Every structure is written in structure tokens, then in C-alpha cells.
Structure 1
Amino acid sequence: MAGLNVSIAFFFLVVGVCQALRWLSKRLLSPEMYGCLARELAGSLQLCMSCLELRMLAEIGLWGGGFGPDVVLTLLFLLFTLHGASFDGASANPTISLQEFLLLESNLAATAAKLLAQGAGTGMGWAVTKLYWSLELTHFHLIQNLIASECSSSIHTSLHHAAFVEGTCSFLLHLVLLKLQKSHLIYRVPVLAATVTFLTYTAGPFTGAFFNPALATATTFYCLGSSFWDYVQVYWLGPLAGMLAALLLYQGNIPRLFQRNLLYSQKNKYKIPKTRVVVHGESDEPCRKRKGEKSNSEPRA
């Protein structure tokens, strides 16, 4: 239980440090630089460090700490609720940034900057977490350091099935994101956290349920058991295909590529009422005159 308490304290420390980084960069950088670089870097750093520690608990805590997957799933839901409330609009996910680009919500330069910041954030998160584990504050970290060099691939099924699983998870996540994009934060955050928790519980035994190319790259690409191309197909192409399918199903088209709706017929929601045009002829003139004379006439005594 002491090891779990140390991990929970680590989660709060990571969120606090990344929140301070966001607060500082917001005051020192321009809004464009903050939105494209600093915010995404801080969000990716926070997400990567939290997920690496949580993954360590899921793998070692089951037999080393005596707690089951219910503890890990509860922590996952609480963490993603905290992430959603503190990310300040950052996605920390390359497929979400690409979705914004395809929806014409972001230009090419801003999208490229976001992708670079997400890659740098996850890389920094992996390095800092490795340094934190080397301190061996708990017996979990000691075991993690012993098996770190012999980690195995997170793909525990066939390659095509694994790519389908990651693509399906990405498809469902992006559908929820598109549906809730205009909802209030107080509703959007818990629904997204519950969606991520459900998808992780369902798809975790097959692929680890990352559905985030940057996070998967920092977490499992260096492990033995699968080739680099296998990882690319499952953790890059799978989520990308799922995002495109969700966008096409929800929008009916991809605005960046073409404007024509491919799935749904566009009908005008507002009907213009038909108006009758009345042409006043000469016969109406006496009527107006009589009305005018009647209104202007003075009452007789």
C-alpha cells in the first residue's frame, strides 16, 4: 500500500509541475506560441509520465502489491478527469491535432508545431520517468528497473487484429469528441474519462489500448517482440484510420480535402415562406383618398 501512496503522490506532483509550466509559459509567451507549443508540450509531458507510472502499477501491482485491475481503472478514470480539467485545451494526441487540421480549425504550421511539441513532451516524459524510477523509492520501481531492459511488446494478438482494435478505439474516441466538442467542460471531461477507461478495459489485453501515436511511441516502441513497421501499423496507422472514419461518419465529408458531403444530403432547414405580391392599381387610389379624407376630416358639432 505504501508503494501505491508514493505513485499517487507522484501523479499529483506531475500535475502540479505541468500546471506551473502552463501558468508560466502563458505569461511569457504569445498566445500563438503558448497554444501550439507550450500547452501541448506540458500536456504531453503530463500524460506520458502519468501513463507510464500507471502502466507500471498495472503490470507489477497485480502480483507485487496485491491490488487488482479495479484499482488501476479507478486511478485511470480519476487521472483522465484531472487531465481534462487541467490541460487548458491541449489535446496531447497527434490524431486529435490532425482532426483539427482536417476540420479547418488549425493551419498547417500550427498543426506541425503541435505535433513536434507532442513528440518532445512524450520524449521528455519517458526520460524523466526513467530517472524517477532509478531512485527506487518503492519496491515497484526496483522491480521495474530490473525488467525494463527486457520489456515485451504490447501487441498480444495478430497484427491485423491489433490494428483493427486500435483503430476502433480511436474511432469511438473521436466520435465522442466530435459529439461533445460544443458541450460544457463539466460534462465533457467525465464522459471522455469514462470513455477512455472503458476502451482501456476492453482493448488493453490485446494492444495496451493506447490510441495515441505519441504515447505509444514513447511507451512501447522500444520493447522487443515486434518490428518497427508492426508498431507503425498498429499504433500510428490504426488510430489515424479510426480518426478519418469517425470524421467521415460524423461530418459526411472531410472539409480540408473536399466540401461536398458524401454521405448525407444537404437540405435547407429553414423554409422561406411564399409571399404574395400585391400590385396596387389606379382603382386603389380613391380608396386611399377616401380613407385619408375621413381621417383628416374634423368632427361636426
Structure 2
Amino acid sequence: MAGLNVSIAFFFLVAGVCQALRQLSKRLLSPGAYGCLARELMLMEIGPWGGGFGPDVVLTLLFLLFAVHGVSSDGASANPTVSLQEFLLLESSLAATATKLLAQGAGTGAGWAVTKLYWSWELTHFHLIQNLIASECSSSIHTSLHHAAFVEGICSFFFHLVLLKLRQSHPMYQVPVLAATVTFLTYTAGPFTGAFFNPALAAATTFHCSGSSFWDYAWVYWLGPLAGMLAALFLYQGNIPRLFQKNLLYSQKSKYKIPKARVAVHTEGDEPQRRRKGEKSNSEPPWGRGGGEPNTFA
């Protein structure tokens, strides 16, 4: 219980420091620089600091982490695939997207450094164990390379599909649903790849570990999530606005409705009347109204 209290205290300390730095940067930086740097660079990923606890505790802390992040991050994603999605949706310029990607990489790297410093204090026996094995960490890929890339891609696909569906929703609904989605995907795919589906976080926490090469990590943790994001965007939109505008999946219905013509029959006097069901036709024969036989010629 003491270790859990220390971890929770560390979590709230990091969240408080990030919020203080964001508020400070609002006053010192221009709005554009704040949007690209402060909201991304000040978001420090604290890494898998819940090691040693049971899965229920770790998943609960993960849910709370993403819930607090969604409420307090002021729109920061800390995920390169989300920034690339915004770029492909024409919601962000190339310069702003590149700045976000650099800030996310620097932010996750700084967060990982802070986490290792926190572990070096050895406030709990979990941190002592973590320090002993930190230099000899092993690969988080526990399945074949292609299966691992597929798992990361599927996680990214479902995450971005939910994100696209809820991007216009109120934060009261968006935040818990996204947090629950991330928690569920982590629970499902964690034993195979660690369920990062975040290229920046994966690069900072696992690329330096032995057991897999750099290109193996890049294939799984970079190309996998990127492919999943593209698939989700194409399935949801039917196109990729930055690349092509034509919708290849869904046809757009016209907003103008053409009224249907009323079926009517014309009687003598040109007065339209509806033909009743089962009513016999009273049309006359083509040879006149007298009812006589037609003239015949010998």
C-alpha cells in the first residue's frame, strides 16, 4: 500500500507541474508557440511506473492517467499519429505538425528521464528492483514480428476510430470513453507488445532495450500504428482530405429532394380526379358517343 501511495503522489505531482508550466507558458509565449510547444512539450509521459502492482491496480491507474490527461491537457495529444491525423484532415499545417512531432519526442524523452530519476530515489522496493533491471531491459515484443505489428496496428485503428467518432463530442463524454478505450486495448494487447500504439512513447521507453533491432521496433511501433491510423481515417471519412478529396466509400446524398408527381386521370372538362381502386374505366370507344356500330364499307 505504501508503494501505491508513493506512485499516486508522483502522478499528481507530475500533473500539477505540467499544469503550472502550461499556465506560465501562456503568459510568456505567443498563442501559436503555446499551441505547438507548451501543450505538447509540457506533457511528460511518466512511463510504466506502476510496476509491481496487480493488473487491476495498474489498469485503474492507467484509466485515471488518461482521464486526467484528457481533462487537463488543453487539447494536447502526446501521440504523433494523432498529430498526423489532424494534418491529413487539413486541421493543422505542415509547420505546426512538424513542431508538434518534435515537441512530442522531446516531451516523452524528458518524461522518461524524470521517471528514471524518480526511480533512483528508491522510495519503494519496486523502484529498487526497477533500478536493478533497468540497464538490462528486454524487448517488449513477445510474439512474431508480423503479429506484433498487426496488434499495434489494430490498437491504433480502434483508438483512432473512436477518436474520430468523438472529436466533436463534449469532453464530458469524450474523455471517459477514450480513457476506457485505451485501458481496454492495453489490457487486451499488453501481453503481446505492451500496447503502446504511440510511436513517441515507444521510442522513449523500449527502443533502447535488447532483444530486437531498431528496425524491428520501427516496424512494430512506428509503421503499425501509422497504418492503423490511416485505415481508421479512410474507413471513417471515405477519403484522406490531404491526399485526395474524392470519396471512395460513401456517396453523398443531395440535400434537395425532388417531389414526386401526382398520378391523375383527366375526364371531360379536364378536371383531374384520382382513379379509385377497382373502378372501371369509362373511356369511350374511338368511333363516337352514340353507342352504335361503326360504319363498314363493302
TM-score using structure 2 length:
0.85
Of 129, 145, 149 in structure 2, the residue corresponding to residue 159 of structure 1 is 145
Distance 2:100 2:145 in 1: 29
Query: Is 2:81 the partner of 1:95?
Result: yes
The separation in 2 between residues aligned to 1:269 and 1:16, in whole angstroms, is: 49
2:38 aligns to what? Answer: 38
> Among 191, 200, 203, which residue is 1:214 paired with?
200
Q: Tell me the CA shift for residue 98 of structure 1.
A: 0.2
Letter in 1 for 2:8: I
Partner of 1:256: 242
Q: Which runs of 5+ in 2 are unaligned?
A: 261-298
Give the 3-state SS of the residue equivalent to 1:153 in structure 2.
coil
The residue type equivalent to 1:40 in the other structure is E
2:257 aligns with one of 256, 264, 271: 271
Instruction: Give the Cα separation in 2 of the matches to 1:91 and 1:215.
Output: 12
Gaps of 5+ in 1: 62-66, 275-301
Structure 2 counterpart of 1:225 = 211
2:49 to 50, 53, 58: 53
Q: Which residue of 1 aligns with 2:29?
A: 29
AA of the residue aligned to 1:25? S
TM-score between both structures, scaled by the size of structure 1 = 0.85
Deviations 1:97-131 (CA, angstroms, capped at 9, x unpaired): 00000000001000000000000101111111111
What corresponds to 1:149 in structure 2?
135
The percent identity for this pair of structures is 85
The AA in structure 2 aligned to 1:2 is A
Superposed CA deviations along residues 243-276 of structure 1, whole A, max 9, x for unmatched, are 00000000000000011011111221342669xx
Q: Secondary structure at the match of 1:15?
A: helix
Which residue identity is paired with 2:251? S
Q: Secondary structure at the match of 1:53?
A: coil
2:105 matches 1:109: no
Determine if the alignment matches structure 1 residue 74 to structure 2 residue 70: no
Q: Distance in 1 between matches of 2:13 and 2:256?
A: 53
Which of residues 156, 166, 188 in structure 2 aligns to 1:170? 156
Equivalent in 216, 231, 240 of residue 226 of structure 2:
240
Tell me the distance in 2 between the aligned counterparts of 1:271 and 1:41: 50
**Paired residue type of 2:12:** F
3-state secondary structure, aligned to 1:91? coil
Partner of 1:299: none
Give 1 or 2 for the bigger CA radius of gyration. 2
1:124 is the counterpart of 2:120: no
Residue of structure 2 equivalent to 1:8: 8
Select the structure that is richer in helix: 1
- Cα distance in 2 for residues equivalent to 1:36 and 1:86: 16
